Amino acid sequence: MRSAVIVFPGSNCDRDLAQALLQTSGRAPTMVWHRDTELPDGLDLIGVPGGFSYGDYLRSGAMAARSPVMRAVKAAAERGVAVLGVCNGFQVLTEAGMLPGALMRNSGIRFVGRDVALTVENSRSPFTGRLPAGGTITLPVAHHDGNYQADEATLDRLEGEGRVALRYAEDVNGSARDIAGIVNERGNVLGMMPHPERAVEPAHGRTDGRRLFEGLVEALG
């Protein structure tokens, strides 16, 4: 699996994501700076990492979503390249219009940083193939703006089309219908607030995230 990780000013999970991809695919991803206008050829996966791109100014992910490299990311997604957005990466993908809805300030105002239980709602996407269908995994969350909101029609559509990939087993941040991760219509773009790259090796305390990356390697070669 050939992968790339996008790096914005203020990204801080880019190296964790790169390490997770290296460990599970055996191949180091290419790190791509936000001002680049082209991506490496032959990519199977693009990772949009967590962090605080552009200091979260204006709205989380707003400026990053308009940076030059995102045009190339959008074009690649339209060609079918898989795109994984984690935390700030999820915010960037919604701001870029690649996923519906928006991530707002947590309903409890506070930053939430802890392990949370997640229900695997859809295990048919390339991202979730190795996750237990209908089962529970535990991953860490660390965010201030993880409160997923969309209008009722959009939420119904996401549910009806099986595009809710991950759901919080409890209310974590006020998200509509406890949504923690969604895929796009085509199923090749996933945005999720929890951090799979922080649960890859035993030293992390948990390894449920590793299965997500192994599933990607399996699905994308």
Partner 1 sequence: MKYRVHVTLKPGVLDPQGKAIHHALEGLGFGDVRDVRAGKLIELDLADETASQGDVEDMCRKLLVNTVIENFRIERVEAAEA
Q: Indicate if the alpha-carbon torsion angle 86, 176, 184, 206 is positive or negative.
A: positive
By CB under 8 A, tell whether 104 contacts partner 1: yes
In the numeric block, which tokens belong to residue 217?
């390697």
Identify the residue among 106, 122, 125, 188 touching partner 1 (CB under 8 A).
Answer: 106
Q: Which of 41, 42, 79, 109 binds partner 1 (CB under 8 A)?
A: 109
> Could you count the other beta carbons within 10 Å of the beta carbon of residue 2?
17
| Shortest Å distance, C-beta 191 to partner 1 | 14
In angstroms, the CA 221 to CA 204 distance is 26
For the chain, the 3-state helix, strand and coil shares in percent, each to the nearest 5, are 30, 25, 45
Q: How far apart are CA 208 and CA 180, in angstroms?
A: 15
Q: Which is nearer to partner 1, 131 or 150 (CB)?
A: 150
Residue from 101, 140, 187, 194 binding partner 1 (CB under 8 A): 101
**What string marks each residue from 169 to 188 as x (binds partner 1 by CB under 8 A) or -?**
-----x--------------
Q: Which is nearer to partner 1, 159 or 214 (CB)?
A: 159
